[in-house]
Amino acid sequence: MPQKIVKSKIIFEGEIVETIGEVSTEEYERWGANENLKVVGKPVSRIDGYDKVSGSAVYTFDKILQRMVYARTLRSPLPHAKIKRIDISKALKVNGILDVITFQNTEDIDWYWNSSKLFDPHLRYQGDEIACAAAETAELAEQALKLIEVDYDELPFAVNTKKALESDPEKLTGFKKPDLFTYDRGDFSKGISESDESVEDTFTTPVVIHNPTEVHCSTVAWDGGKLTVWDSTQAIFSVRNAVADSLKININDVRVIKKYMGGGFGSKLEAGKYTVMAALLARRLGRPVKIYLDRREMNLAVGNRPDSHQTLKVWGKRDGTITAMSYKSFGAVGAYPQGAAANWPFRTMYKCPNIKVEDQNVFINAGRARAFRAPGHVQGVFALDSIIDDFAYKIGMDPIDLRLKNYAEVDQVFNVPYTSKLLKEAYSAGAQAINWDLRNKIPGSGNGVIKRGIGMASQIWWGGGGPPAHAMLKLERGGYLTVISGTQDIGTGTYTILAQVAAEILEIPMEKIEVILGDTGVGPYAPSSGGSQTIASVAPAVRDASEKMKSKLISAAAAIMEIPEDKIKYNNGEIESIEDPAKKLSIADILKELREESLLMNGSREANPDGYTTNSFGAQFADVSVDTETGKITVNKIAAAHDIGRPMNQKTLENQFHGGILQGLSYALMEERVIDESTGQVVNLNMHDYKIPTVKDVPKIEIIIVSKSDDLVNNVGAKGIGEPAIIPTAGAIANAVYNAIGVRIKSLPITPDKVLNAIYKFN
Binding other proteins (rule: CB under 8 A), the pick from 34, 323, 652, 709 is: 652
Tell me the closest approach of the beta carbon of residue 53 to other proteins, in angstroms. Answer: 4
Contact string (CB under 8 A) for other proteins, positions 151-190, x = contact: ----------------------------------------
Residue 49 binds other proteins, judged by CB under 8 A: yes
Helix H or strand E encompassing 295 = helix 295-301
HEC-encoded secondary structure of 223-288: ECCEEEEEECCCCHHHHHHHHHHHHCCCHHHEEEECCECCCCCCCCCCCCHHHHHHHHHHHHHCCC
Q: Give dist(CA 46, CA 626) in Å, integer.
A: 39
Residue 595 binds other proteins, judged by CB under 8 A: no
Binding other proteins (rule: CB under 8 A), the pick from 1, 53, 180, 413 is: 53
Task: Give the side-chain half-sphere CA count within 13 A for 464.
Answer: 31
Residue 260 binds other proteins, judged by CB under 8 A: yes
Binding other proteins (rule: CB under 8 A), the pick from 48, 270, 544, 723 is: 48
Taking alpha carbons only, the member of 640, 643, 667 closest to residue 654 is 640
How open is the CA angle 189-195-201, to the nearest 5 degrees? Answer: 85
Residue 571 binds other proteins, judged by CB under 8 A: no
Residue 14 binds other proteins, judged by CB under 8 A: no
Binding other proteins (rule: CB under 8 A), the pick from 215, 397, 450, 554 is: 215
- Cβ atoms of 257 and 230 closer than 8 Å: yes
Binding other proteins (rule: CB under 8 A), the pick from 2, 43, 156, 478 is: 43
Residue 146 binds other proteins, judged by CB under 8 A: no
Binding other proteins (rule: CB under 8 A), the pick from 87, 294, 358, 711 is: 294
Q: What are residue 547's phi and psi, to 5 degrees?
A: -65, -40
Residue 462 binds other proteins, judged by CB under 8 A: no
- Cβ atoms of 214 and 262 closer than 8 Å: yes
Tell me the closest approach of the beta carbon of residue 453 to other proteins, in angstroms. Answer: 22
Residue 42 binds other proteins, judged by CB under 8 A: no
Q: Give dist(CA 750, CA 736) in Å, integer.
A: 12
- Residue number with CB closer to other proteins (155 or 490): 490
Binding to other proteins (CB under 8 A) within 667-696 occurs at: 686-688, 692, 694-696
Residue 212 binds other proteins, judged by CB under 8 A: yes
What three-state secondary structure class fits 396?
coil
- Cβ atoms of 116 and 54 closer than 8 Å: no
Task: Give the side-chain half-sphere CA count within 13 A for 571.
Answer: 13
Q: What are residue 364's phi and psi, to 5 degrees?
A: -130, 165
Binding other proteins (rule: CB under 8 A), the pick from 61, 119, 188, 330 is: 61
- Residue number with CB closer to other proteins (634 or 747): 634
- Cβ atoms of 522 and 503 closer than 8 Å: no
Contact string (CB under 8 A) for other proteins, positions 476-515, x = contact: --------------xxxx----------------------
- Residue number with CB closer to other proteins (459 or 602): 459
- Cβ atoms of 346 and 314 closer than 8 Å: no
Tell me the closest approach of the beta carbon of residue 652 to other proteins, in angstroms. Answer: 7
Q: Give dist(CA 574, CA 588) in Å, integer.
A: 9
**Per-residue CA distances from 518 to 60, 484, 653 (Å):** 12, 9, 21
Tell me the closest approach of the beta carbon of residue 123 to other proteins, in angstroms. Answer: 25
Binding other proteins (rule: CB under 8 A), the pick from 181, 701, 754, 757 is: 701
Candidates 53-61, 103-111, 341-349, 498-506: pick the segment binding other proteins (CB under 8 A): 53-61
How open is the CA angle 291-294-297, to the nearest 5 degrees? Answer: 105
Tell me the closest approach of the beta carbon of residue 204 to other proteins, in angstroms. Answer: 24
Kindly state the DSSP code that residue 614 receives in the 8-state scheme.
-
Binding to other proteins (CB under 8 A) within 110-139 occurs at: 139
- Residue number with CB closer to other proteins (56 or 447): 56
- Cβ atoms of 31 and 42 closer than 8 Å: no
Residue 45 binds other proteins, judged by CB under 8 A: yes
Tell me the closest approach of the beta carbon of residue 10 to other proteins, in angstroms. Answer: 25
- Residue number with CB closer to other proteins (321 or 650): 650
Residue 50 binds other proteins, judged by CB under 8 A: yes
Tell me the closest approach of the beta carbon of residue 666 to other proteins, in angstroms. Answer: 10
- Residue number with CB closer to other proteins (96 or 174): 96
How open is the CA angle 389-640-419, to the nearest 5 degrees? Answer: 90
Q: What are residue 260's phi and psi, to 5 degrees?
A: -115, 145
Residue 521 binds other proteins, judged by CB under 8 A: no
Residue 336 binds other proteins, judged by CB under 8 A: no
Q: Give dist(CA 340, CA 179) in Å, integer.
A: 12
What three-state secondary structure class fits 50?
helix
Tell me the closest approach of the beta carbon of residue 725 to other proteins, in angstroms. Answer: 9
Residue 96 binds other proteins, judged by CB under 8 A: no
Binding other proteins (rule: CB under 8 A), the pick from 81, 165, 261, 314 is: 261
Q: Give dist(CA 535, CA 525) in Å, integer.
A: 14
Residue 698 binds other proteins, judged by CB under 8 A: yes
- Residue number with CB closer to other proteins (64 or 559): 64
Q: How far is CA 710 from the centre of its chain?
A: 21
Candidates 99-107, 350-358, 499-507, 656-664: pick the segment binding other proteins (CB under 8 A): 656-664
Task: Give the side-chain half-sphere CA count within 13 A for 644.
Answer: 28
Binding other proteins (rule: CB under 8 A), the pick from 658, 679, 711, 754 is: 658
Tell me the closest approach of the beta carbon of residue 704 to other proteins, in angstroms. Answer: 15
Binding to other proteins (CB under 8 A) within 720-749 occurs at: none
- Beta bridge partners, 9, equal 18
Taking alpha carbons only, the member of 114, 118, 111, 123 closest to residue 84 is 123
Long-range contacts of 442-447 (CB under 8 A, 24+ apart): 442/742, 443/393, 443/738, 443/739, 443/740, 443/741, 443/742, 444/739, 444/740, 444/741, 444/742, 444/743, 445/742, 446/740
Tell me the closest approach of the beta carbon of residue 62 to other proteins, in angstroms. Answer: 4
- Residue number with CB closer to other proteins (481 or 662): 662
Candidates 59-67, 169-177, 364-372, 471-479: pick the segment binding other proteins (CB under 8 A): 59-67
Binding site for other proteins (CB under 8 A): 43, 45-46, 48-59, 61-62, 64, 139, 211-215, 260-263, 265, 294-295, 490-493, 651-652, 654-663, 686-688, 692, 694-696, 698, 701
